[in-house]
Amino acid sequence: MTAPLTVSMLMSSPVVSVGPDTPLDTAYRILADRRVSSVPVVDAGGKALGVVSLTDLLRVGRLQPASLAGVASLDLPEEPVRDHMHAGVVTVSPDAPPTRAARLMAEHHIHRVYVEEEGALVGVFSIEEVLLAVRVLELDTPIGQRMTKPVITLPLTATLAEATARLDRVGVTGIVILDEHDHPVGTFTQNEALASRHRAPDIAVERVMSYALVIQHGKTPLHRAAAHAYEARARRVLVVDDGKLEGLLTGLDFARILAGAG
């Protein structure tokens, strides 16, 4: 008999963390280097106090004077993460099923939960692990039946300032960039916004967008789309039929789908 799938079988370990006195800019460099959207804030005794995320850093930067006028004003203040973290950490036990972890992610609208054992953080269950679970469980519903639409888009001719402002205005974590034929050619997410915060606000978004795309037909089964996204380290699967962008599946969409599978 095959052993039931558990969080411990899929989680990433060890956990990368920061201390409460870590400067915001140092926390950003850790997030950028590790290509993650958040890290836990842990005290000297190993107790988890909270979480600091890319969203938190973007929010702090945009509170600076004239920040909405362009990315060049997105400067992080010389303050510790304790002043801007979200208190509390959402955790799951190592022996919990992946559906439980996915349900917590969907309920709290977060991209990772931390695996806690005997009061210590021993692992991370993130969107990557969600994709792995969908793949292992071989969920076969066509992605066209579960995609999110409409998709927030911008043309290649948009500026960095316009893309950053759109992220802020519509409250999403990513925008799809379209070429002159309305075909998706890239994405602009919080990662690109932060990485470009010192660039000129009037440069073309094409110069800073991510080219890492996963494009699938609407009839593609969920497990295959999840496998492609996992291998490409992409958090979004774009659904294109007859050359037209019809919708997308975000990491949290996959989490909701996985949560419903248990």
Q: Provide the percentage of residues in the chain whose pLDDT is more than 70.
A: 93
Q: In terms of domains, do 79 and 194 share one?
A: no
Which among 107, 136, 165 is the end of a domain?
A: 136
> For residue 85, is it within any domain?
yes
The domain spanning residue 32 has which CATH number? 3.10.580.10
Residue 138 Rama label (left phi>0; alpha psi -120 to 50; beta): left
> For residue 182, is it within any domain?
yes
> For residue 197, is it within any domain?
yes
Collapse the DSSP code of 251 into the 3-class scheme (helix H, G, I; strand E, B; otherwise coil) and give the result: helix
| Listed residue (261, 240, 135, 224) closest to 178, CA to CA | 240
| Residues 120-170: tens digit of each pLDDT | 999 999 999 999 999 999 999 999 999 999 899 999 999 999 999 898 888
Both tokens of 210, joined, read 């991510």
Q: What is the pLDDT of residue 56?
A: 85
Which among 121, 136, 151 is the end of a domain?
A: 136
Q: In terms of domains, do 56 and 111 share one?
A: yes
Q: In terms of domains, do 250 and 175 share one?
A: yes
Q: Which pTM was predicted?
A: 0.84
Q: In terms of domains, do 101 and 29 share one?
A: yes
Q: In terms of domains, do 102 and 210 share one?
A: no
Q: In terms of domains, do 22 and 101 share one?
A: yes
Contacts of 228 (CB under 8 A, 6+ apart): 214, 216, 234, 237
Cα separation, 214 vs 235, in Å, equals: 9
| Residues 25-59: tens digit of each pLDDT | 899 889 888 878 899 999 988 889 999 998 788 77
What's the whole-number average pLDDT of the chain?
Answer: 89
> For residue 103, is it within any domain?
yes
Q: What is the pLDDT of residue 216?
A: 96
Q: In terms of domains, do 184 and 112 share one?
A: no
Q: Is the pLDDT of residue 229 over 90?
A: yes
Q: How far apart, in Å, are the Cα atoms of 160 and each of 129, 156, 157, 187, 207?
A: 31, 10, 10, 12, 9
> For residue 2, is it within any domain?
no
Which among 102, 120, 136 is the end of a domain?
A: 136
Q: In terms of domains, do 104 and 147 share one?
A: no
> For residue 213, is it within any domain?
yes
| Residues 183-214: tens digit of each pLDDT | 999 999 877 887 787 788 999 999 999 998 99
Crossing angle for the helix pair 24-34 and 54-62, nearest 10 degrees? 140
Cα separation, 50 vs 189, in Å, equals: 23
> For residue 1, is it within any domain?
no
Both tokens of 101, joined, read 């972890």
Q: For residue 72, what is the enclosing H or E element?
A: none
Q: In terms of domains, do 111 and 172 share one?
A: no
Q: In terms of domains, do 35 and 118 share one?
A: yes
Query: Which residues span the domain enclosing 76?
Result: 7-136
- Asked whether 176 and 248 are in contact (CB, 8 A), the reply is yes
> For residue 156, is it within any domain?
yes
Q: In terms of domains, do 153 and 225 share one?
A: yes
Q: In terms of domains, do 119 and 240 share one?
A: no
Give the number of domains in the chain.
Answer: 2
